[in-house]
Amino acid sequence: MNPHHSLDVGRVTQEGVTEVRREEAVIKAGALQNAIFNSANFSSIATDAKGVIQIFNVGAERMLGYLAAEVMNTITPAEISDPQELITRAGALSAEFHTPITPGFEALVFKASRGIEDIYELTYIRKDGSRFPAVVSVTALRDIDKVIIGYLLIGTDNTARKQVEAEQQKLDQRLRDQQFYTRSLIESNIDALMTTDPAGIITDVNKQMEALTGCTRDELIGAPFKSYFTDPARAEAGIKLVLSDKKVTDYELTACARDGKKTVVSYNATTFYDRDRTLQGVFAAARDVTERKRFEQALQETNVEMESAKSAAEKANLAKSDFLSGMSHELRSPLNAILGFAQLMATATPAPSDSQKESITQILQAGWHLLKLINEILDLSVVESGKVSLSLEPVALSEVLSECQAMMEAQAQERGILMTFPQFEQSSFVWADQTRLKQIVINLLSNAIKYNESKGQVNVTYALGSSDRVRISFQDTGAGLPPDKLAQLFQPFNRLGQEAGSVAGTGIGLVVTKQLVELMGGVLGVDSTVGKGSVFWVELRSTPAPELKAITREEVVPKLASEPVDAPVKTLLYIEDNPANMKLVERLIDRRTDMALLKAVDGSAGIALARSALPDLILMDINLPGISGIDALKALREDVATAHIPVVALSANAMARDIEVGRQLGFFRYLTKPIVVEELMSTLDLALDWAQKNPGSPKPTDGSQT
């Protein structure tokens, strides 16, 4: 074989391998370029030398909303950029390079055209008009002769970084604001504030500490805390005590200023830490208590006298209560005999003579007056002691005035007094205690009749005032009162010169009336003109009527259909002293074919009825006359016959503590007024269901069912 021929074959083989490798590299480079240009994370825009877009990759489509076909050979990148920014950039480049630059595509590629690396921020405008910040890198594309044939603009969405920068700016500003705020708090504090390291060396102070010591902040920082007190050992012990107990309160020290002034301070301190819970030192506040110490010394000197006076007042108050209680008992016993026998004598057979009748009448009048005096004195005592229990709820004004009119009609007729009352075209409700409101109205009507002229008039009116108030006025045609007597009107036992007159009275009724009105959040006032009469008026808060929710046919039918035809009727006992609330529940129960209603108007009657009727369920008010609803519940739980009956509270006492107490006492549920019909009905169903599933089981008294 020819050796030259072998060499030629080898050379051809080697060149073939090299060519294959070169082709593979070209293919690989092309694939890499293709991957870059088609990356969705970067916008790659290539233009010709004049700036007309020639390449618009997938990333550019995604960021800008245009399809490549819409922009290629059509527009320049300047047309999708913020025009104002182009003007600004052109001006800046013109100044930098001392040559005029057009605010268009030239401004985008000027540096790149000069071979200068150029990366800048730019605002792109999407096809839909929305805008986003981008970071753009510009490169000039050159041919083999270094002639520019186009430009490549690679952009990334800068929105996230801009947001981070904006948030960081906000955080920085917030930090500066917080530091300023914290320092302002420290400096505005009335106490001398300071911080020390664990060794007791001062690290910071406020202006008050400077004033207390007479030293500047620079002088204080770095100095030992103990150096500024008359007893350095006690001051140092205070720091150690804080470090061991974590805090110290009311630790007294005497600060000594540079000029020798001594100030007694109350030292309160705690330890403080960095965010890693590493101990940094002690934060202390020293308050000037010099004047307080002087006051305490003066107070101690008079303390014995005050305690003695307090003891005397308590004894006097106790003696007053004992006296009133004893007086009531001691006076009622003989008074019962006096009035009883006087009435027997008045109705005896044969009838007493005219002179005897006159004497008996005097005895009865004096006896009834004495009884009224006893009752009013006791009533005043209860009101002044603050022991009056009020059940505030919506009260129908028309019902109260109607009942009081019937009660006072006979007294008015005896003197020939004509009473007129308002006609209510629509219901008017006030927020009050119904029993006490009747007492107020009766007292004002009684006064208007007693102090009126013979055959006079009493005109009762009502009107809606401002701020949801209702005013009830009682106008008489009596002699009226001059201003000096009006000022004494509400003084106990002051009858304004009527003591020797023919009209009986105690001078207590108006005092009690005024206090009852104020306890209900109202106002009692009077306007009087001598010779024309007086107008007493009461203002109370108006309130909406306790309304029933309209129950539709769709709501009623399923309820009736859910009960078996032969299901026994359940019995509900409602214990309530307010007629309006009783009527409301009565109407609600009338709608149910599965339930019958029993009624009681006080706690004692309710307990008796529960024991005799053994209802399936009890609904009970809390503020009842006689024994309260709470006492009634205790009595029912202690009786084996009634202990299993679930009791639902329905009360105007709606404070959180009232509800919690009710639950702890063992009410099945504690509902508050005004009544929510759906809530009441569902609660009754729950209680009946519980009673059916637990027949004869004692109702827990720990509130576990509430």
Q: What is the CATH number of domain 553-693?
A: 3.40.50.2300
- Select from 520, 522, 515, 523 the least CA-distant residue to 384: 515
* pLDDT value of position 680: 85
Asked if residue 44 lies in contact with residue 59, where contact means CB atoms within 8 angstroms, the answer is yes
Alpha-carbon distances of 212 from 75, 192, 264, 288, 395, rounded to whole Å: 76, 7, 10, 9, 63
pLDDT of 72 above 90: yes
**Mean pLDDT of all residues in 125-137:** 93
Question: In this structure, what is the dihedral angle of CA atoms 303, 305, 310, 314, given to the nearest 10 degrees?
Answer: 140
Summarize pLDDT for 500-527 with one digit per residue, the tens: 455 555 456 788 888 888 888 899 989 9
**In the beta sheet, which residues pair with residue 48?**
150
**N- to C-terminal Cα separation, the chain:** 114
Average pLDDT, stretch 275-294? Answer: 86
Preceding peptide of 352 cis, ω within 30°? no
Q: In what order do the strands lie in the sheet with 43-48?
A: 53-56, 43-48, 148-157, 131-142, 118-125
Tokens of 525: 């006032």
pLDDT at 437 over 50: yes
R_g over Cα of the chain: 48
d(CA 193, CA 202): 11
Length of the chain: 706
240: left (phi over 0), alpha (psi -120 to 50) or beta: alpha
Domains 38-157 and 294-383 share a fold: no
Look at the domain 388-541 and name its fold: Heat Shock Protein 90 (3.30.565)
From 40, 44, 31, 39, select the one nearest 152 (Cα to Cα). 44
pLDDT for res 387: 61
> Strand pairing of 533-541 and 469-476?
antiparallel
Residue 56's pLDDT is what? 93
Tokens (6 digits) for 452: 């009126």
Read off the tokens for 600. Answer: 């009681």
Residue 8: pLDDT band by 50, 70, 90 thresholds? low
Asked whether 632 and 607 are in contact (CB, 8 A), the reply is: yes
Mean pLDDT taken over the chain: 81
pLDDT score, position 93 = 93
Residue 434 pLDDT > 80: yes
Write the DSSP assignment of 175-239 as a string of letters.
HHHHHHHHHHHHHH-SSEEEEE-TTSBEEEE-HHHHHHHT--HHHHTTSBGGGGBS-HHHHHHHH
Sorted by sequence, the CB contacts under 8 Å of residue 187 that are 6+ apart come out as 206, 207
Residue with the two structure tokens 């530091």: 179
DSSP3 helix / strand / coil % (the chain, rounded to 5): 50, 20, 30
Domain residue limits, the chain? 1-28, 38-157, 189-288, 294-383, 388-541, 553-693
Q: How far is CA 686 from the centre of its chain?
A: 30
SS3 of 150, please?
Answer: strand
Query: Which strands, in side-by-side order, build the sheet including 457-464?
Result: 418-420, 457-464, 469-476, 533-541, 523-529
- pLDDT of residue 226 exceeding 70, the answer is yes
With 60 as the cut, is the pLDDT of residue 96 above it? Answer: yes
Domain 38-157 carries which CATH code?
Answer: 3.30.450.20
| Cα dist from 674 to 156, 249, 545, 653, 686, whole Å | 65, 48, 9, 11, 20
Please return the burial class of 552, using the count of CB atoms within 10 Å of its CB with bins 0-12, 13-18 and 19+.
exposed
Q: Which fold has domain 189-288?
A: Beta-Lactamase (3.30.450)
What is the average per-residue pLDDT within 28-51? 73
- Residue 315: partners with Cβ closer than 8 Å, 6 or more residues away: none
Amino acid symbol at 84: Q
Instruction: Look at the domain 294-383 and name its fold.
Output: Helix Hairpins (1.10.287)
Task: Supply the pLDDT for residue 556.
Answer: 37
User: For residue 152, is pLDDT > 80?
Assistant: yes
Which residue, among 548, 549, 551, 590, has the nearest Cα to 569 in the 3D structure? 590
pLDDT digits (tens, 9 = 90+) for 598-643: 999 998 999 999 999 999 999 999 888 888 889 999 999 999 999 9
